A and B are shown apart, each in its own frame.
Chain A
Amino acid sequence: MNINRDNYEEYFLLYIDRELSADERQVLESFVRRNPDLEKELERLKQTVAPPPVIVFENKDILVREEKKRRFLPVYWTRIAAALVILLTGAGVMLMIIPSKKRPLNETADQIKKPAAGENRNQIIGKNRDQIEKASSELIADQTKNKTIGKNSAHTEKAGPGMKVDHTKKSETDSKSNEIPDATTSSESAQKSAVLPDLAQQTGMEETRVPNFESSKLNLPPSTVNRQPSTINHQPSTNPDESTSILVFDNKSKPVTRFFRKLLARSPDDNAVASNNQKRLSVSIFQFSMSK
């Protein structure tokens, strides 16, 4: 700090404002002692320092604060009770409504007095659908086999009509040796139907897919009659599996297709149609009787 008579006022002001360090204060005080004429000037500047007046802010309590205790949300038991009452009432109403909806269905089923197998059509359809699909796939496989069989039978016919009985036996031996099942053999069909009755029906139907429904309706050879599908002369059965039959028609059987289309169009129950596409028409729980 370089204080002199030209710049002393600034240092005097810094001095009274307590902005000088302890060393600087000593330097200034020694300067004043060396220049006594400036000591009065410093005293006058000291008099400008305003002493703090005693002024009190009354009622400080209005400024005092306290932390608010954390409030917990009050539990409104009345609201909870009201909500429970509403929920329980709703649940009770639902329990009353649901059985009342089920009841008319059962009553209708009883009024219809359908056979036991037909009472729960939908269930049977649901159960049989997988079997139907499975059987359909097997039928497709059988179609190829039957083509081969048809060739074989044609080949045997060339041998002559007298050989028909032997043909049966021969076909049995052929089927055993070639491990190709002969669908034309009634005994094997009987065995098949005994083991897999449903599949046997389907196999028979596949053979009757011959095409013209009217031809099967009219006179059919005895062997074919044995293999006729149970659908045509289907008798109500207690066995749900027996109540389902499959008819597979090719594109040439337009009269039959038209017949089933008309039949399905008039069918009041949509559940009778299990599936419907271009080449396959599956009808579940289908029953009709032939006119005598």
Chain B
Amino acid sequence: MTAEDYNDCVRQYADGLYRFMLKSTRQVEDARDLVQSAFEKLWEHREEVNASKSKSYLFTIAYHKMIDLGRKNGRIEFREFLPDQIATERGPTPRLRQVLEEALDRLNEKQRSLVMLKDYEGYSYEEIGAITGMNSGQVKITLHRARVLLKQYLVSVENVI
């Protein structure tokens, strides 16, 4: 890919990658560092990376760096995530969305990452497996379990309301 292709990647994928990292790490600085690190590596290997594969390349690099960072810093405390920050970034949200965010916070790291890659980025099972290093069957099972947990949480909250 050329430098122009790379800069197109910045314009197209920087926000989505940052969103994925921010929702995964819950730390703004860590998320920014991971995004910059992923684009840095893409720039270094731009001649080897096909432009059509650049998005998957970015997410793969960022995902594994995030895993390494989580192992290094210990398990991420999801509860430290600031819901007000999301509200500020997203504006006023319906109640259902807020409950869903809460439900996502209850998922484990792998489940949440797969849900985000599926729902935010629209990747297939196979593509998610390529990014996370899992096979498509594992992705399918993990995602289905996450969906069931989210549904149960939504039902439970709905019953409370």
Residues on A facing B (Cβ under 8 Å) = 10, 13-14, 16-19, 44-45, 47-57, 60, 62-67
Contact = CB atoms under 8 A, between A and B. Distances in A.
Q: Report, nearest first, the 8 A-B pairs whose CB atoms are least far apart.
A: A57-B18, A48-B150, A55-B19, A52-B120, A50-B119, A57-B14, A63-B10, A67-B3
5 contacts: A47-B100, A50-B101, A51-B119, A52-B121, A56-B15
Contact of A65 (B3, B100, B122, B154): B3
Given A10-B144, A13-B147, A48-B147, A55 B100 contact: no
A51 B124 CA distance: 16
B129 to A, nearest CB: 13
B115 interface: yes
B143 A64 contact: no
Contacts of A56: 15, 18, 89
Contacts of B86: 53
Interface in B76-126: 86, 89-91, 96-97, 100-101, 103-104, 115-116, 118-122, 124-125
A53 B10 contact: no
B19 A53 contact: yes
Contact of A64 (B7, B119, B121): B7
B65 interface: no
Interface residues of B, number: 46
B36 interface: yes
A221 B3 CA distance: 110
A19 B125 contact: yes
B39 A63 contact: yes
A62 B36 contact: yes
Contacts of B19: 52-53, 55
Identify whether the interface residues of A are mostly helix, strand, loop, or mixed: loop
A66 B121 CA distance: 27
B100 A52 contact: no
Contacts of A54: 89-91
Contacts of A66: 3
B89 A17 contact: no
A8 B69 CA distance: 39
A48 B154 contact: yes
Nearest to B94: A51
Contact of A17 (B15, B18, B116, B118): B118
Contacts of B154: 44, 47-48
Contacts of B11: 60
Given A44-B151, A47-B100, 7 more contacts: A45-B151, A49-B119, A51-B119, A54-B91, A55-B18, A65-B43, A66-B3
A249 B7 CA distance: 99
A60 B14 contact: yes
Contacts of B23: 53, 55
Contact of B100 (A18, A19, A48): A48
B120 A16 contact: no
A18 B122 contact: yes
A57 B143 CA distance: 27
Contacts of B122: 18
A63 B36 contact: yes
Nearest to B11: A60
